[in-house]
Amino acid sequence: MSFTHTLARKVAGVSLCVAIGFGGLAMGQAPQASAATKADKIISLGKNYLGVKYRFGAPSGSTSAFDCSSFTQYIYGKYGVKLPRVSSSQAKKGYAVAKSNLKKGDLVFFRVARTGKNIGHVGVYVGNNKMLHTYGKPGVTYSSINTSYWKSHYVTARRVL
C-alpha cells in the first residue's frame, strides 16, 4: 500500500469518526429540544383555556369545562401524548422526577381533601415554580406550587415528554 493510499484511508476514517461523533451529539440533543418545544406548545395551548370553568368529572374532549385531569389529558393529547383520564392514573405514566429537577411540561401531582393521602390533583409545570391547572372558581389558572396549600399537598412529579 502506498503512503498516499494509507494517508487517504486514515483521513477518511477520522472524517467518518468525526461525522459520527457530531451526528451522535446532534441526535443526543434532539430529543431534549423536541421535548422542550413540545412542552412550550402544550403550555401555549393550555393558556388558550385560561378562565374556562372547572367542573369535577368533566368529560374527556370537552373544552367548555375541565377538571384537572381532563385538562391535562386534552392538552397533552393534542400533541400525541396519551394520558389516562384520572390524575392518580396519570401519576403512573412517564418517570418520576425530583421537585428540584422540574422542567416545563412535567406533570405535578397533589393530594386533596377529597382523596386523603392519595393523588387527587394534577397540574402542568410551566417553570418558575408555577403550574397551569384548573380547580374551583378560577377555572383554568396559574398557581405557585410554593403556596402553603400546594406545597403542603405536593406528592410527586412525572416526566411524560
Show which residues are catalytic: 68, 121, 133
* 56: Cβ contacts below 8 Å, ≥ 6 apart: 67
* 51: Cβ contacts below 8 Å, ≥ 6 apart: 138, 139, 140, 141
Is 125 within 8 Å of 108 (Cβ atoms)? yes
Give the integer Cα–Cα distance in Å for 158 and 105: 9
Is 154 within 8 Å of 108 (Cβ atoms)? yes
